[in-house]
């Protein structure tokens, strides 16, 4: 097979305008659509940034080229050289009259799904053929926005003097207990995929790093097969020294508003048909007790000391139709590192950030006393010996500190009004899906 010719001076669709009338251009991309009107044939070529209309008039281009273009299957990769011609009737006000086309990779005639989205596909079909689903306009924009969100998060923290960290994802002990651990074989012993960077970012507070953040995968052996759970997710984790839970809550809500503003600046946002606006600060705050009372008034009874069910979260979301915090949680249902409140040991300085449809983040002021932390670990039925490397940090000068973890996928699905979390992950991992 002959090697493909080099594509010189390639232009994206958005780099060509009516102002290029009469110029020779080179484009390359995928054959998105073909339209045969008898004497005129239209080829729509798609690239990362948009669509180019290639127009062939029978009798005005070489017969061999005309037939070659007509035969090329949809989703084949092509390179085309031609002249830009102003055409008011064309969607972009111009068309490309081809002089040469090279098929760089011919696609099979039968496609796993319709990239024009005129014929819908079930989510499982889309995920099985994710490479093809990513060629659709809507899915592409979701992941371009995801990239934009991650850049915005880094920009936000860098501007505030945070240090970005990278903690281990293979660990010897659980972060919050063993119920959601994914075990792996690690040479001659058992290890686990990390649930959270929690212990390591706290250790960095003892090292004097003061303000750290991490954007990285977390792993949980979730038994639930729901629209909001994943076994591999991306978490934004933050830890700050010499502050309380109130200060890190303020950082969290400021970050959320900043991310929303950056997403709203996305030029193609309108193609997703969203009603998006930057949330107003500060977010509403209700205590756990107030949440229980609101639920009771709505006819949903929750025993004090119980965690909130998905049904209870949805009920609260109908009552409070905005982003809000639930604060002052019972210590019994929060992790061992959550600091008890001064007003009583049964309540801790912990919070959850809620969207009306889903929990987005959770955090707390942390215990910084070695003795209290060791007692808390043992009270949860865990072995303090398993956490020796972590506990040792607290014996040699640990400042008061607080932090939180935010789910990137949950933030995206709530912002973009997407109902299934798998849609905002390139290649999701759940109980049933390990490929592609």
DSSP state of 175: S
Tell me the chain's radius of gyration from C-alpha atoms.
Answer: 27
Contacts of residue 322, defined as CB under 8 A and 6 or more positions apart, other chains included, come to: 279, 283, 284, 356
Q: What is the pLDDT of residue 408?
A: 98
Contacts of residue 181, defined as CB under 8 A and 6 or more positions apart, other chains included, come to: 174, 192, 193, 195, 221
Q: How many residues does the chain have?
A: 436
DSSP state of 283: P
DSSP state of 20: G
- Tokens for 93, please give them: 């006000």
> What are the structural domains of the chain?
13-105 (2.40.50.140), 131-424 (3.30.930.10)
CB atoms within 10 A of CB 200: 22
First to last CA, the chain: 30
Q: Do the beta carbons of residue 12 and residue 72 sit within 8 Å? A: no
Q: Do the beta carbons of residue 131 and residue 145 sit within 8 Å? A: no
| Torsion over CA: 326, 328, 334, 336 (sign) | positive
Among candidates 236, 248, 232, which has minimal Cα distance to 195?
A: 232
- Tokens for 234, please give them: 């991306």
- Return per-residue pLDDT of the chain as tens, 436 residues: 456 666 778 999 999 999 999 999 999 999 999 999 988 999 999 999 999 999 999 888 889 999 999 999 999 999 999 999 999 999 999 999 999 999 999 999 999 999 999 999 999 999 999 999 999 999 999 999 999 999 999 999 999 999 999 999 999 876 665 557 899 999 999 999 999 999 999 999 999 999 999 999 999 997 778 999 999 999 999 999 999 999 999 999 999 999 999 999 999 999 999 989 999 999 999 999 999 999 999 999 999 999 999 999 999 999 999 999 999 999 999 999 999 997 666 999 999 999 999 999 999 999 999 999 999 999 999 999 989 999 999 999 999 999 999 999 999 999 999 999 999 999 999 989 999 9
Q: For 23, how many CA atoms within 13 A lie in the half-sphere containing its CB?
A: 13
């Amino acid at each position: 097979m002959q090697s493909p010719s080099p594509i010189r001076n390639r232009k994206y669709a958005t780099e060509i305008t009516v102002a290029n009338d009469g110029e020779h251009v080179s484009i390359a991309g995928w054959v998105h659509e073909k339209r045969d009107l008898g004497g005129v044939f239209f080829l729509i070529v798609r690239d990362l940034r948009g669509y180019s209309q290639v127009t062939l008039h029978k009798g005005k281009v070489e017969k061999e080229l005309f037939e070659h273009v007509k035969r090329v299957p949809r989703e084949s990769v092509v390179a085309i050289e031609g002249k830009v011609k102003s055409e008011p009737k064309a969607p972009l006000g111009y068309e490309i009259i081809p002089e040469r086309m090279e098929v760089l990779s011919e696609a099979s005639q039968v496609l796993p799904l319709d990239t024009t989205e005129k014929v819908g596909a079930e989510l499982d079909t889309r995920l099985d053929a994710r490479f093809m689903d990513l060629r659709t306009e809507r899915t592409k924009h979701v992941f371009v926005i995801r990239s934009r969100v991650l850049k915005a998060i880094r920009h936000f923290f860098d501007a505030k003097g945070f240090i970005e960290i990278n903690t281990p994802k293979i660990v010897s002990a659980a972060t919050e207990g063993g119920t959601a651990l994914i075990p792996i074989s690690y040479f001659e012993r058992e290890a686990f995929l990390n649930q959270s960077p929690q212990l390591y970012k706290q250790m960095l507070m003892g090292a004097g790093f003061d303000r750290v953040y991490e954007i990285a995968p977390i792993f949980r052996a979730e038994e639930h097969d729901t629209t909001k759970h994943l076994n591999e997710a991306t978490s934004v984790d933050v830890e700050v020294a010499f502050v309380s839970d109130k200060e890190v809550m303020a950082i969290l809500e400021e970050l959320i508003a900043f991310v929303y503003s950056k997403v709203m600046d996305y030029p193609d946002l309108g193609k997703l048909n969203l009603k998006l606006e930057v949330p107003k600060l500060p977010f509403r705050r209700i205590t756990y007790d107030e949440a229980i009372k609101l639920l009771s008034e709505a006819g949903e009874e929750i025993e004090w000391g119980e965690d909130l069910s998905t049904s209870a979260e949805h009920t609260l979301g109908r009552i409070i139709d905005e982003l809000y915090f639930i604060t002052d949680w019972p210590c019994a249902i929060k992790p061992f590192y959550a600091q008890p409140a001064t007003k009583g040991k049964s309540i801790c300085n912990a919070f959850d950030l809620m969207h009306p449809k889903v929990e987005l983040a959770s955090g707390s002021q942390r215990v910084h006393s070695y003795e209290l932390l060791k007692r808390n670990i043992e009270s949860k039925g865990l072995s303090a010996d398993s956490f020796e490397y972590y506990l040792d940090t607290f014996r040699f000068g640990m400042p008061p500190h607080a932090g939180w973890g935010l789910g990137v996928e949950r933030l995206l699905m709530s912002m973009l009004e997407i109902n299934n979390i798998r849609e905002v992950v390139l290649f999701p991992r759940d109980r049933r899906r390990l490929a592609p």
